[in-house]
Amino acid sequence: MAVYTDLGAAAMERLLGEYDVGALRSAKGIAEGVSNSNWLIETAQGRFILTMYERRIELGDLPYFLDLLDHLSAHDCPVPRTIHTKRGDSFVMVDGKAAALIEYLPGISPDRPSAEQAHNVGGALARMHLAGRDFEKTRPNTLGPQSWIDMLEECGVGGLSEIDPALPKMLTVARQTAERWPPDLPQSVIHSDLFPDNVLMLGERVSGMIDFYFACNDAMAYDLAVTHAAWSFDASDTAFDPAIGGALVEGYEAHRPLANAERKALPLLAQGACLRFIASRALDWIETPPGALVMRKDPMQFVRRLKFYAERGEKAFTPSPI
């Protein structure tokens, strides 16, 4: 579940009163998600998402994330707009916590994406990268190569091996990958966490890309590699689906063809993407006590994907027509 804060009816009405969205009709907590509290809000004017920022988010980064939604939406990307208060603010403070009202977008996150859906997600990602190039705010990637090493070191060899005996080795792999990390690939705004649960779809069409709270300025090809690693494997992780991976890359390149250096870098970028999720999941695993309300995600899932990318190299990214 992801409603960490109990906002009573009066507090909710007061909060919504800051906005020009009409009278509050209902507010329902949303079960999905792990980081923030989310409510589906209905007012006389329609539906909205209210997000209260609970963990991992620096207040100083909120203008980047929330203005980015407006920028991308104004550039015809399927991204929800930020609703501003009557005073023009993009977020409000409630008992010391920041909260923002976001446009509601229809759609369902796919659990078994089709190749056509993957193709369209690749296209939406490329269009987002193109639209992000003239976004005036910047934010560094705080989850870049050094952070994987830092997070794994924070877990400690003992902590890692308690999760799985194969995990401590990832510290060496992270150091080696960081040393080989390509420094100068073309950059833009990247989502950097475009998992299926952060995409809403209506049939084959992408109706929404959400959860931009890891967005930053970094290599566009890295974002494609993250998305590839997040979408192209079946839930049991036993199989890579070349039709999904191929369609994703092909859909991306229909809008933004990759430069040779980007294409060559993809296998390493995908290994880095795996390390980023291995490290954050391992740290979350250690910091989240068993029995907590939040589901712990398995770091070993991305150890297996990392091995796949190391073995398969460029062949993992060969486009296959849908």
Ligand X SMILES: N[C@@H](CCOP(=O)(O)O)C(=O)O
Binding partner at 277 among ligand X, ligand ADP, none, C-beta below 5 to 8 Å by kind:
ligand X
Taking CB under 6 A as the rule, which mask of x and - marks residues 239-258 in contact with ligand X? --------------------
305 contributes a contact to ligand X by CB under 6 A: no
Number of residues that bind ligand X (CB under 6 A): 11
Binding partner at 210 among ligand ADP, ligand X, none, C-beta below 5 to 8 Å by kind:
ligand ADP
Shortest Å, Cβ 203 to ligand X: 23
Q: Specify the residue, 19 or 65, whose C-beta has the smaller distance to ligand X.
A: 65
Residues that bind ligand ADP (CB under 6 A): 2, 30, 32-36, 38, 49, 80, 102-105, 197-198, 208, 210-211, 213
Shortest Å, Cβ 278 to ligand X: 9
Q: Specify the residue, 142 or 318, whose C-beta has the smaller distance to ligand ADP.
A: 142
Shortest Å, Cβ 90 to ligand ADP: 14
Rounded distance between C-alpha atoms, residue 173 and residue 187, angstroms: 25
Shortest Å, Cβ 280 to ligand X: 6
Interface positions, 192-211, toward ligand X (CB under 6 A): 193, 195, 198, 211
Taking CB under 6 A as the rule, which mask of x and - marks residues 27-46 in contact with ligand X? ------xxx-----------
Interface positions, 219-238, toward ligand X (CB under 6 A): none
Among 123, 281, 309, 319, contact with ligand X (rule: CB under 6 A): 281
| Secondary structure string (H, E, C) spanning the chain | CCCCCCCCHHHHHHHHHCCCCCCEEEEEECCCCCCCEEEEEEECCEEEEEEECCCCCCHHHHHHHHHHHHHHHHCCCCCCCEECCCCCCCCEEECCEEEEEEECCCCECCCCCCHHHHHHHHHHHHHHHHHHCCCCCCCCCCCCHHHHHHHHHHHHHHHHHHHCCCCCHHHHHHHHHHHCCCCCCCEEEECCCCCHHHEEEECCEEEEECCCCCCEEEEHHHHHHHHHHHHCECCCCCCECHHHHHHHHHHHHHHCCCCHHHHHHHHHHHHHHHHHHHHHHHHHHHHCCCCCCCCCCCCHHHHHHHHHHHHHHHHHHCCCCC
Residues that bind ligand X (CB under 6 A): 33-35, 193, 195, 198, 211, 277, 280-281, 297
